[in-house]
Amino acid sequence: MHSYLRHYIDGQWVESEGGARHEVISPATEQPVSEVTLGTEADVDKAVQAARRAFESFSTTSKEERIALLQRIAEEYKARWSELARSISEEMGAPISMSSTAQVGAGLSHLQTGIEALKGFEFEEKVGPNLVLREPIGVVALITPWNWPLNQITAKVAPALAAGNTIILKPSEQTPGSAAIFAEAVHAAGVPNGVFNLVQGDGPGVGTALSKHPGIDMVSFTGSTRAGILVAKNAADTVKRVHQELGGKSANIVLPGTPLDKALKGAALRLLMNSGQSCIAPMRLLVHRSQYDEAVAYLRAFFEQAQVDEPLKEGNHIGPVVNRPQYDKIQGLIQKGIEEGAELLAGGPGRVEGRQEGYYVKPTLFAGVTNDMTIAREEIFGPVLGIMVYDSVDEAVRIANDTVYGLAAYVVGDPAQARDVVRKLRAGSVFVNAANLDPNIPFGGYKQSGNGREFGKFGLEEFTEIKGVIGDLPEGAVPDIPAEAAA
CA distance 61 to 123: 13
Question: Residues 104, 433: contact at Cβ < 8 Å?
Answer: no
Catalytic, out of 184, 279, 310, 454: 279
Listing DSSP states for 201-264 in one string gives --IIIIIHHHHH-TT--EEEEES-HHHHHHHHHHHHTTT-EEEEE----EEEEE-TT--HHHHH
CA 193 from centroid of its chain's CA atoms: 27
Catalytic, out of 91, 184, 245, 310: 245
CA distance 129 to 217: 30
Q: Is 431 helix (H, G, I), strand (E, B) or coil?
A: strand
Three-class SS of 129-153: CEEEEEEECCEEEEECCCCCHHHHH
CA distance 5 to 125: 46
Half-sphere exposure of 430 (CA within 13 A, CB side): 19
CA distance 319 to 355: 12
Question: Residues 159, 114: contact at Cβ < 8 Å?
Answer: yes
Check if 279 is active-site.
yes
Angle between helices 393-401 and 415-424 (to 10 degrees): 40
Element (DSSP H or E) covering residue 73: helix 63-79
Number of helical (H) and strand (E) elements in the chain, helices listed first: 17, 23
CA distance 128 to 248: 42
Question: Residues 34, 176: contact at Cβ < 8 Å?
Answer: yes
Measured in Å, how far apart are the chain's first and last C-alpha atoms? Answer: 64
Assign residue 105 a region: left if phi > 0, alpha if psi is -120 to 50, beta otherwise? alpha
Greatest Cα pair distance in the chain: 83
Supply the residues annotated as catalytic.
245, 279
